[in-house]
Copies of this chain bind each other. A is one copy, B any other.
Amino acid sequence: METARQATSPHGERQGHPADAHRVLDRCRALVRPALSEAVGRLHPWIGEMAAYSFGWCEVGGAPVAAPGGKGVRQALAVLGAEVAGAPARAGVAAAVAVELVHTFSLLHDDIMDGDADRRRRPAVWKAYGTGPAVLAGDALFALAVETLAAQPGGAEAVRTLSAALGDLVRGQADDLLFTERPWTGPERVRPDEYRAVAEHKTGALLGCAAALGAALGGAAPETVAALDRVGRHLGIAFQIVDDVLGIWGDPRVTGKPVHGDLRERKKTFPVLVALDSPVGGRLVALLEAGDAPGAAAELIEQAGGRAAAMAEARRHIAVVDTALAGVPLGAGAAAELRALLGFLVRRDI
- A201 and B178 CA atoms in complex are apart in Å by 35
Give the nearest-CB partner of A140 in chain B: B170
A139 on interface, CB distance cutoff 8 Å = yes
Q: A136-B113, A139-B142 are in contact. Are A156 and B150 (CB under 8 A)?
A: yes
A229 nearest CB across to chain B (Å):
16
B133 touches A112 (CB 8 A): no
A171 on interface, CB distance cutoff 8 Å = yes
Q: Which of A109-147 contact B (CB under 8 A)?
A: 109, 112-115, 131-133, 135-136, 138-140, 142-144, 146-147
Give the chain B neighbours of A166 by CB distance below 8 A. 139, 143, 146-147
Q: A150-B159, A156-B155, A159-B155 are in contact. Are A46 and B174 (CB under 8 A)?
A: yes
A60 on interface, CB distance cutoff 8 Å = no
Among B109, B159, B171, B174, contact of A159 (Cβ-Cβ < 8 Å): B159
- A162 and B143 CA atoms in complex are apart in Å by 9
Give the chain B neighbours of A175 by CB distance below 8 A. 44
- A171 and B136 CA atoms in complex are apart in Å by 9
- A150 and B151 CA atoms in complex are apart in Å by 13
A104 on interface, CB distance cutoff 8 Å = no
A47 touches B163 (CB 8 A): no
Interface centre among A44, A151, A162, A175 (most CB of B within 10 A): A44
Give the chain B neighbours of A255 by CB distance below 8 A. none
A173 on interface, CB distance cutoff 8 Å = yes
* Mask of A160-178 contacts with B, CB within 8 angstroms, 1/0: 1011101101110111011
Give the chain B neighbours of A46 by CB distance below 8 A. 174, 178
Q: Which of A282-325 contact B (CB under 8 A)?
A: none
8 A–B contacts, CB within 8 A, in A order = A44-B170, A109-B135, A112-B132, A113-B132, A139-B166, A142-B142, A147-B167, A150-B160
